Structure 1
Amino acid sequence: MQNNKSIRYSRHYSLPGFGKEKQELLEKSKVLVIGAGGLGCPVLQYLTAAGIGTLGIVDGDKVELSNLQRQVLFSMDDIGHSKAEIAEKKMKLLNPEVKFKVYREFLNHENAIEIIREFDVVVDGTDNFNSRYLINDVAVMLGKPVVFGSILGFEGQVSVFNWGEKGPTYRCVFPEAPDPLNSPSCSELGVIGILPGMIGSFQANEVIKICTGIGQPLSGKLLIYNALTNGQITLSVSQIPENKKVQNLDATNFVCNSPSNGLEVSIEEFLQDEDYWKEKIIDLRSKGEFHQFNRGGRNLPLQKLAIQFKELEKGREILLVCQSGQRSQKAMEFLMDNGYKNVKHLKGGLQGLEDN
């Protein structure tokens, strides 16, 4: 086994300033990767190859065809299967010396502390603000550093939060989540396929630096990368001491991957009675998307909903639709917060209807 290690990690052993000593530190480290999607895939691949001792994988999602454009760990054969389980299976083939702990569930306020407390470093590969605030607050409570990454369009961000006593937290950079109607996701605005690989590689590098003590982690700094220009800027971030005093979790602040409690209409339900639903559709996509493909109804882009929602009758049944189902869920929550009770949204969005 020792001989195998000397071959597998020979480039680390011969690397000045790294060597066998730093490699042994990696082998003793426990790293939790939350999200096995665009960012999580390259992070898992590079950390597994590097020889991290224990890797945790948290993801309750399944592989979809639309993932394959950027989540290059997966293939056509994996569609419909658990991302976390597929990731573990393939990473064991890459490096059987690494131990894996797999959580086939989404992180929430009930399981976050129990899961995160077992690891030395947390990698945030999530794609929504609620999850990021939850990860941040639990990490502050438990004293764990968080390697943060985010991607959208052609731009990505990387930072290290909660590193030591003076390290800023996620809340020091983003004190409050933006209005959900003005915070589009990758499924809405898209993302260039190569970008998650680049930002995820940055994240893996930060993990290795933290675990081995080499270099200087991106604590107190927010690196922003632009794929169109290959430009990078690094912003300085100051700690707000109050943000290091989190002592408990308020469950109402962390509705991650929240179920719709029967307020979703499935593709199958829609197709069974399309004429019934067609009269109730509010299509939240842009005008261009609407004219390219639609199933009728009124086109009211999400960005205009906050201004024009009062035009909608509160008593009538409403079916909100968009391309993937994410915008429609945001809009449903917004309307319900404003007194609309008879609102549903199309689960999975219109992309599931284009071939029907």
Structure 2
Amino acid sequence: MIFTKEELERYSRHLIIPDFNIEGQRKLKAAKVLVVGSGGLGAPLLSYLVAAGVGNIGIVDFDTVDESNLQRQILFTVDDVERPKVEAAAERLRKQNPFVNIKTYNTVLTSQNALDIIKDYDVVADGTDNFPTRYLVNDACVLLNKVNVYASIFRFEGQASVFNYTDKDGSVGPNYRDLFPSPPPPGLVPSCAEGGVLGVLPGILGSLQANEVIKVITGIGETLSGRLFLFDALSFETRTLKIHRNPDNPLNGENPTQAELIDYEQFCGIPTQEEKSKVKEISARELYELIEGKKDFQLLDVREPYEYDIANLGGELIPLNQIEEQAERVASNKQVIVHCRSGKRSQQAIKQLEKKHGFTNLYNLRGGLLAWAEEIDDRVAKY
């Protein structure tokens, strides 16, 4: 592996570390790392991998840059809003280090394409924010015998680990399914878009991911394989828990039952399009016409009080986690429009009320306040 004079100058602070030196830098330059997600975790992760000189980096992301991303996704600027994230990220990263090869995948990672994309890489770094993709990335890495460097964040807390790592003795460490054999019920754990996240937290966890990726590639130090690192940004407390292989793991336990990728939306209990369509919906425009026409209906907001204080449509507030115990406040003799920020929590609220209390007059505001901001009044989107 040959370095130019410019590269040697760029990486000089690595080269003078006795336990790293030119051999470690050669391993970085030869490595191929796939980063899934270029958002909160992916932004610092990609920045430090590129700066460190990882020679070949792939980026998978289907999303576009939104103004709400700029609070924590430090790869992007206001000029990138509405651009594909992989496009904006690659442009910025190439300017950061022209000696790194960057390949982009502007697509959703699915059971159909995951194996084809991941097979060409040595290490996968998971920067996703949803359970179906986490299980998909994990399973693909196990099936392809790839290392999975994992992190996740929520509000003020984060965690990180290294999955499916083969140590110097040839022993394979635990993977995500050993830690979480099954996903939580849908809606129990909100995404960052629904629950929020302290802006600096993904920077901390994404940097830790980059550190683990570099250790995996170069072989220096001890990775987080077999351990789960927990970080609380408010108390500045950390814990490290041990993780063990689960003999019942369906992928590589004592009696494996899964040899291919599955439907991860179904596995995580995410409603199919057909199931979603069973919930009656109303558009933002239709709601606006009901309000302007002074029709008799109830508007129900199932977000949290702090969200309501920031922006609301004047509806009655009953947070999702209180909806069943306060069902008597929901009208049964007229149309009830239920909404949240994006339409996910309100859909869940409707299903709970219909199943437990037999309501038949509930309608979900399709797209929630985000749709209202897009179609009717953009002032409610500024939170």
Same fold? TM cut 0.5: yes
Q: Distance in 2 between matches of 1:94 and 1:186?
A: 28
Please tell me whether the aligned partners of residues 183 and 268 of structure 2 are also in contact (alpha carbons under 8 angstroms): no
After TM superposition, list the pairs within 5 Å mapping 1:279-318 onto structure 2.
Answer: 279=297, 281-290=299-308, 293-305=311-323
Which region of structure 1 is more displaced relative to structure 2, 53-62 or 183-192?
Answer: 183-192
Partner of 2:136: 134
Provide the TM-score with structure 1 as the length reference. Answer: 0.88
Q: 1:143 to 1:192 in 2, by over 3 A?
A: same
Partner of 1:223: 229
Please tell me whether the aligned partners of residues 109 and 254 of structure 1 are also in contact (alpha carbons under 8 angstroms): no
Higher relative contact order by CA 8 Å / sep ≥ 6: 1 or 2? 1
Q: Distance in 1 between matches of 2:141 and 2:336?
A: 40
How many Å apart are 1:316 and its aligned residue?
Answer: 7.7
The answer to whether residue 179 in structure 2 is matched with residue 173 in structure 1 is yes
Match of 2:242 among 214, 236, 239: 236
How many Å apart are 1:327 and its aligned residue?
Answer: 2.7
How many Å apart are 1:257 and its aligned residue?
Answer: 11
1:241 is paired with a residue whose SS is: coil
After TM superposition, list the pairs within 5 Å mapping 1:1-356 onto structure 2.
Answer: 2-164=4-166, 165-243=171-249, 244=252, 245=256, 246-251=258-263, 252-253=266-267, 267=284, 270-271=287-288, 274-275=291-292, 279=297, 281-290=299-308, 293-305=311-323, 319-328=337-346, 330-331=348-349, 343-347=363-367, 349=369, 352=373, 353=377, 355=379
Matched residues, percent identical? 42
For residues 11-65 of structure 1, the C-alpha deviation after alignment (integer angstroms, 9 at most, x for no partner) is: 1111111111111111111111111110000000000111112111111111111
Q: 1:293 to 1:87 in 2, by over 3 A?
A: closer
Which region of structure 1 is more displaced relative to structure 2, 299-308 or 252-261?
Answer: 252-261
Q: Distance in 1 between matches of 2:230 and 2:335?
A: 43
How many Å apart are 1:288 and its aligned residue?
Answer: 4.8
Q: Distance in 2 between matches of 1:107 and 1:316?
A: 42
How many Å apart are 1:259 and its aligned residue?
Answer: 6.5
1:52 is paired with a residue whose SS is: coil
5+ long unaligned stretches in structure 1: none
Please tell me whether the aligned partners of residues 54 and 98 of structure 1 are also in contact (alpha carbons under 8 angstroms): yes
AA of the residue aligned to 1:299: L
How many Å apart are 1:68 and its aligned residue?
Answer: 0.7
For the pair shown, the structure with the greater C-alpha radius of gyration is 2
Which region of structure 1 is more displaced relative to structure 2, 180-189 or 109-118?
Answer: 180-189
Please tell me whether the aligned partners of residues 32 and 122 of structure 1 are also in contact (alpha carbons under 8 angstroms): yes
Provide the TM-score with structure 2 as the length reference. Answer: 0.82
For residues 189-241 of structure 1, the C-alpha deviation after alignment (integer angstroms, 9 at most, x for no partner) is: 32111111110000000000001111111011000111123221101111113
AA of the residue aligned to 2:179: V
Please tell me whether the aligned partners of residues 125 and 150 of structure 1 are also in contact (alpha carbons under 8 angstroms): yes
How many Å apart are 1:141 and its aligned residue?
Answer: 1.1
Please tell me whether the aligned partners of residues 341 and 367 of structure 2 are also in contact (alpha carbons under 8 angstroms): no
How many Å apart are 1:265 and its aligned residue?
Answer: 5.7
5+ long unaligned stretches in structure 2: none
For residues 251-303 of structure 1, the C-alpha deviation after alignment (integer angstroms, 9 at most, x for no partner) is: 13268897697777665565466557993643111245436543244433111
> How many pairs are equivalent?
356
Please tell me whether the aligned partners of residues 302 and 320 of structure 2 are also in contact (alpha carbons under 8 angstroms): yes
Q: CA RMSD, aligned part only?
A: 3.1
Q: 1:6 to 1:190 in 2, by over 3 A?
A: same
Q: 1:107 to 1:349 in 2, by over 3 A?
A: farther
Which region of structure 1 is more displaced relative to structure 2, 82-91 or 298-307?
Answer: 298-307
